[in-house]
Amino acid sequence: MSTDRTWAYERYEPERERLVEALCTLGNGRFATRGSAPECPAGTVHYPGTYLAGCYDRRASVVAGERVENEDLVNLPDWTRLRYRLRPDEGPPGDWLTPDSAELRHYGVRLDLRAGTLTRSLYFQDGGGRRLRVVHTRIVHMGDALLAGQRTLFRAYGWSGAVEVESVLDGAVVNAGVERYRHLEQRHLTDHRSGFEPGGVAWLTCRTTDPGSRLALAVRTVTRPERPAREDATATGTVQTYRLPLAPRRPASVVKTLALHTAADRPPGDPRTAACADAARAPAFPRLLATHRAAWQRLWEQGELDVPGDAGRILRLHLFHLLQTLSPHTAELDVGVPARGLHGEAYRGHVFWDELFVLPYLELHFPEVARSLLRYRHRRLPAAREAALRAGGRGAMFPWQSASSGREETQELHLNPRSGRWLPDHSHLQRHVGSAIAYNVWRYAQATGDRGFLHAEGAEILLEIARYWSGAATFDATLGRYRIRGVVGPDEYHDAYPDAAHPGVDDNAYTNATAAWVLARGLDLLGELSEARRAELTEELSLDDGELQRWEDVSRRLYLPFHHGVISQFEGYGELAELDWEGYRDRYGDIRRLDRILEAEGDTVNRYQASKQADTLMLGHLFRAAELRALFARLGYALDDATWSATVAYHLRRTSHGSTLSSLVHGWVLAREQGDAAWEYVQEALLGDVADLQGGTTGEGIHLGAMAGTVDLVQRGITGLDAGPEGLRVAPVALSRLPRFSFTLCCGGHRGVRLRVLPGRLGVHVPASPKGPLAVVLPGERRFTVAPGEERWFRL
């Protein structure tokens, strides 16, 4: 049974196995291994996978007669494989045992969220009454990010003899985790070499095909009782075979310890030599486990979140996966936020705008990690500048999908699995990703007080994105306003006007409003720089007064479309046909991917007022009501509460929630607007991955944006929290389903500040330190301070 500290499955259900593997993935920010059964190679049921953050490979494929290139997060050799079978004293050996064996009697998988361990227990009974219990315990070391370990214990009941064990390092792996990508080139590893070193160490080296990154895996296998291995190197890996005596009360064990190195590791050196040395000297499993647990304990202390009940259990799992994908080790790497975690191959491990939902948590708990994710973008500024130039623009045009180099990695064709047709993919026109990056830079600095970053790399990113928007806006003399044409909004369904020859829609309200916001912040930022830095930047970026004048002008005169008293998703949205929502729901049940349904019917979603996910309403996620009003006012539009409420209701009725981000954003916006009415969406956001609501996609990788977003929904959304170096503002909304919760955060120079929210009350505890008191602002501008070492309670 799952508790708030564990996540458990008590039966073996082959059709659920991929989901279990994804949700039981273990990682340390540098690499992750899916929670697969060690007994089974990849097949229709099982899909072992190990992914190293930032390790991509580019391959060309031919689909629908066209050559396409894709860069994929590479599935690395499987270090977990372990085969075993009974070798009774008498009679022939049994069959290799797996969860799929007829002899399986009990099965259980348990993820310990506190300790970061995955335990899988199997209990077999063969036709001769011989019973065998097998327990695997796996870790991916959170302290030493080069290491992972797996211990397998065997216990015999009612027989004696031996268990024959094969410990395998399997390099014959491909990227085959996503059915939709099966027509694409799946082979990313080449030049396999393998061998053995003394002390039970097996090694395997290989490289990706392009750019040819060298990888080395070394696995030390140690058995109890100690037995010599037969060692066989295969073309793509190694097999070590042991015969371990087994009898009642005389158990046996096998421990595999992995060291994973690449040529990019520091200090530089031969990855094979380094991996073998690390595997050989790694401590025994109990010690490895103890240091791993200690590292997790430190993480939980920094990231504590206590929400009672089922919601709390799921939130803790979400936080666990966030911390495994982006841990303090991430700060050492040049990687972005992979939308599907390091948990599977969906979206090829690419980086989208999802960091918008992920960074807020990190800023308040692990600011160095948040900064390193922004640096990933900064290092790709030259690629974004080049992309803008190629598109005839200026500044930085960041790609919708980013991977290693920062070039656009969005696929050119995508498959509609319903119709079997390959279709042009125009989602790269989601230029709003640039605003998300600029917004992250700004908010990071507000939350952490890191003006150093904002004025250095942050300014370069933000100003170049502002410059891009200024150039992308064209003046329409009839309207007397600037317009941004030919884009795709967060909705994604609408990639063109019906029957148009060109892709893209005009004046997506979210895109235009956030572009105006970026331009305004660009000007603010220039205003707050020291004279020397401002001079340096204007020189470096060749900014002149004429250009800044244009920023000012565009930031005040971008066009925002309205119809029937609501904000239109884009120009002309209100003229599109209304969809028969009930009819489609009756006919298809699940209409989350309405775009695919309509295309398969020979129709197109472009004809309808139907959105995949929150688009215009994203404005209510990013900006508080007053901020949004001010942004609209700067643009010369009055946005009153009635218009916003009507806009929320209008778009909500026309959204199919085909992305896990959708219910999250709607839950957030509704919670701030209507309190309890939001619960349906909050609940859906919580269940998105654990109940696999997007129709089987979680097995291909978790949805990290939605997972982190739900944690942030509690932290900032429901709490109405605004934390920064000056202290914190809190304005909780009452949600009867989440009446009480607590969490810690970094704020006002203090680490470990604890907030407790109870019905009508708020507790703030500031840990003892020589620092000054923490300022707290409550609704109605009521101002207080809490001294270090003190806990104060406030009425809300």
Write out the catalytic residue numbers. Answer: 492
Establish if 659 lies at the interface with ligand BGC (CB under 6 A).
yes
**What is the number of other CB atoms lying within 10 angstroms of the CB of residue 4?**
18
Residues 550-579 that bind ligand BGC (CB under 6 A): none
* Shortest Å, Cβ 53 to ligand BGC: 17
Q: Which two tokens stand for residue 178?
A: 């996503």
Per-residue burial over 338-369, b if 16 or more Cβ lie within 10 Å, else e, is bbbbbbbbbbbbbbbbbbbbbbbbbbbbbbeb
* Shortest Å, Cβ 700 to ligand BGC: 12
Dihedral of the alpha carbons of 625, 628, 633, 638, in degrees to the nearest 10: -60
Stretch that binds ligand BGC, among 4-12, 32-40, 348-356, 508-516 (CB under 6 A): 348-356
- Please tell me whether the peptide bond between 770 and the residue prior to it is cis, using omega within 30 degrees of 0: no
Dihedral of the alpha carbons of 293, 298, 302, 303, in degrees to the nearest 10: 0
Dihedral of the alpha carbons of 218, 224, 225, 227, in degrees to the nearest 10: -10
Contacts with ligand BGC by CB under 6 A: the residue count is 12
Stretch that binds ligand BGC, among 108-116, 349-357, 375-383, 540-548 (CB under 6 A): 349-357
* Shortest Å, Cβ 69 to ligand BGC: 20
> Which one, 166 or 712, has the nearer CB to ligand BGC?
712
Among 352, 361, 469, 497, binds ligand BGC (CB under 6 A): 352
> Which one, 27 or 471, has the nearer CB to ligand BGC?
27
d(CA 726, CA 721): 13
* Shortest Å, Cβ 695 to ligand BGC: 12
* Shortest Å, Cβ 211 to ligand BGC: 24
> Which one, 303 or 705, has the nearer CB to ligand BGC?
705
Report strand pairing: 761-765 vs 791-795.
Answer: antiparallel
**What is the number of other CB atoms lying within 10 angstroms of the CB of residue 702?**
31
Report strand pairing: 774-778 vs 727-729.
Answer: parallel
d(CA 111, CA 579): 43
Amino acid symbol at 200: G
Establish if 493 lies at the interface with ligand BGC (CB under 6 A).
no
> Which one, 141 or 428, has the nearer CB to ligand BGC?
428
> Which one, 238 or 611, has the nearer CB to ligand BGC?
611
d(CA 285, CA 288): 5
> Which one, 30 or 612, has the nearer CB to ligand BGC?
612
H/E segment holding residue 786: strand 782-786
- CA nearest neighbour of 320 among 614, 24, 722, 757: 24
* Shortest Å, Cβ 612 to ligand BGC: 6
Stretch that binds ligand BGC, among 347-355, 382-390, 438-446, 594-602 (CB under 6 A): 347-355
Among 7, 47, 203, 347, binds ligand BGC (CB under 6 A): 347
> Which one, 200 or 490, has the nearer CB to ligand BGC?
490
* Shortest Å, Cβ 440 to ligand BGC: 14
Stretch that binds ligand BGC, among 77-85, 291-299, 346-354, 648-656 (CB under 6 A): 346-354
Residue recorded with tokens 């502002």: 466
Q: First vs last Cα of the chain: how many Å apart?
A: 37
> Which one, 148 or 437, has the nearer CB to ligand BGC?
437
The gap from C-alpha 667 to its chain's centroid, in whole angstroms, comes to 19
Cα angle 563, 568, 574; round to 5: 60
Among 490, 504, 717, 727, binds ligand BGC (CB under 6 A): 490
Residues 398-457 that bind ligand BGC (CB under 6 A): none
> Which one, 305 or 339, has the nearer CB to ligand BGC?
339
Stretch that binds ligand BGC, among 90-98, 197-205, 350-358, 719-727 (CB under 6 A): 350-358
* Shortest Å, Cβ 723 to ligand BGC: 26
Q: Which two tokens stand for residue 795?
A: 């009425």
Residue 485 CB-half CA count within 13 A: 8
d(CA 469, CA 419): 37
Confirm if 506 and 490 have CB atoms less than 8 A apart. Answer: no
Q: Which two tokens stand for residue 765?
A: 């505890």
Stretch that binds ligand BGC, among 160-168, 345-353, 673-681, 758-766 (CB under 6 A): 345-353
Per-residue DSSP letter, 240: E
d(CA 175, CA 344): 9
- CA nearest neighbour of 795 among 728, 782, 714, 739: 782
Establish if 150 lies at the interface with ligand BGC (CB under 6 A).
no
Q: Which residues pair with 779 in a beta bridge?
A: none
* Shortest Å, Cβ 23 to ligand BGC: 17
3-state helix, strand, coil in the chain (%, to 5): 35, 25, 35
621 burial (CB, 10 Å; 0-12 / 13-18 / 19+) is: buried
* Shortest Å, Cβ 659 to ligand BGC: 4
Residue 148 main-chain phi, psi, to 5 deg:
-145, 165
d(CA 292, CA 285): 10
Among 339, 441, 466, 631, binds ligand BGC (CB under 6 A): 339
> Which one, 347 or 469, has the nearer CB to ligand BGC?
347
**What is the number of other CB atoms lying within 10 angstroms of the CB of residue 589?**
7
Q: Which two tokens stand for residue 247?
A: 């009898």
H/E segment holding residue 138: strand 131-140
Establish if 705 lies at the interface with ligand BGC (CB under 6 A).
yes
* Shortest Å, Cβ 182 to ligand BGC: 20
Among 17, 492, 507, 700, binds ligand BGC (CB under 6 A): 492
Establish if 510 lies at the interface with ligand BGC (CB under 6 A).
no
- CA nearest neighbour of 12 among 42, 36, 41: 36
Among 103, 278, 354, 425, binds ligand BGC (CB under 6 A): 354
Cα angle 83, 154, 277; round to 5: 65
* Shortest Å, Cβ 400 to ligand BGC: 8
Among 42, 113, 168, 661, binds ligand BGC (CB under 6 A): 661
Establish if 613 lies at the interface with ligand BGC (CB under 6 A).
yes
Please state, in angstroms and as integers, the Cα–Cα distance from residue 505 to each residue in 190, 301, 479, 496, 641, following that order.
43, 47, 17, 5, 27
d(CA 194, CA 77): 12
* Shortest Å, Cβ 596 to ligand BGC: 12
d(CA 140, CA 232): 26
Among 353, 559, 570, 743, binds ligand BGC (CB under 6 A): 353
Nearby residues of 763 by Cβ (< 8 Å), 6 or more positions away: 742, 754, 755, 756, 791, 792, 793, 794
Establish if 57 lies at the interface with ligand BGC (CB under 6 A).
no
> Which one, 238 or 659, has the nearer CB to ligand BGC?
659
> Which one, 353 or 570, has the nearer CB to ligand BGC?
353
Write out the residues near ligand BGC by the rule CB under 6 A.
Answer: 339, 347, 352-354, 490, 492, 612-613, 659, 661, 705
